[in-house]
Amino acid sequence: MRTNPILLAAALLLSLSACKQDKADLAPPPPAALTADAVGHYCGMNLADHPGPKGQILVKGQERPIWLSSVRDTFAFTMLPEEPKEISAIYVTDVGRAKDPAAPDLTVWVEARKAWYVLGSGLRGGMGDAEPYPFAEEAAARAFAAANGGTVQRFAEVHEDQILTPPAGPVAEGGH
């Protein structure tokens, strides 16, 4: 029995296009643009009223992102059992592209699970709590930790006790 090369080629192309579609389905949706009316999920206050990095969580089946006033709140959302777990994407602002960590560019987002975080630095977040500072690049995170203290960790390495019960400590000069 002889195989028809045209049918074989068609079958191969069909399977390749199915693979591309599967990969497109797995790609996370892009981050939403921060709007003037964005309100923090936990505090109910406008995000613009808080200094420091922010977060957004895209939940499957919801059109609008869940905005979070801090990266600490973003982590907490993923850890608390009462929050939705069908998450399409998690984004945090990239502090590495900011001149001042208290005022990051709110148009520059990094997928949270791919970011590098500095935990335990001398700086505080917008609500005065210990804040994980996110970076798209490891080198930027390490330089920040060298200048401000803290340890560099990946998203999956951060434990609940570091977020839900962060250590109290003095606020560094100029920290928020």
Tracing tokens 């500072």 back to the chain, one arrives at: 133
Sheet with 116-119, edge to edge strand ranges: 133-135, 116-119, 151-154
Q: Please report which confidence band the pLDDT of residue 174 belongs to, taking 50, 70 and 90 as the band edges.
A: very low
Q: Is residue 7 part of a domain?
A: no
Split into its structural domains, the chain has a count of: 1
Structural tokens at position 109? 């987002």
Chain-centre distance of CA 47, in angstroms? 15
pLDDT of residue 101: 86
pLDDT of residue 30: 95
State the average pLDDT over residues 88-110: 92
The pLDDT mean for the chain works out to 84
- Cβ neighbours of 159 (radius 10 Å): 12
User: pTM score, two decimals?
Assistant: 0.79
Q: Is residue 92 part of a domain?
A: yes
Alpha carbons 141 and 123: distance in angstroms, whole number: 14
Enclosing domain of residue 137: 47-162
Q: Is residue 34 part of a domain?
A: no
- Cβ neighbours of 144 (radius 10 Å): 22
Q: Is residue 131 part of a domain?
A: yes
Question: b or e along 88-112 (b: 16 or more beta carbons within 10 Å of the residue's beta carbon)?
Answer: ebbbbbbbbebeebbebeeeebbeb
Alpha carbons 57 and 66: distance in angstroms, whole number: 5
Q: Is residue 21 part of a domain?
A: no
Q: Is residue 149 part of a domain?
A: yes
Q: Is residue 53 part of a domain?
A: yes
Cα–Cα distances in Å, from 82 out to 56, 77, 149, 160?
A: 17, 9, 33, 15
Q: Is residue 98 part of a domain?
A: yes
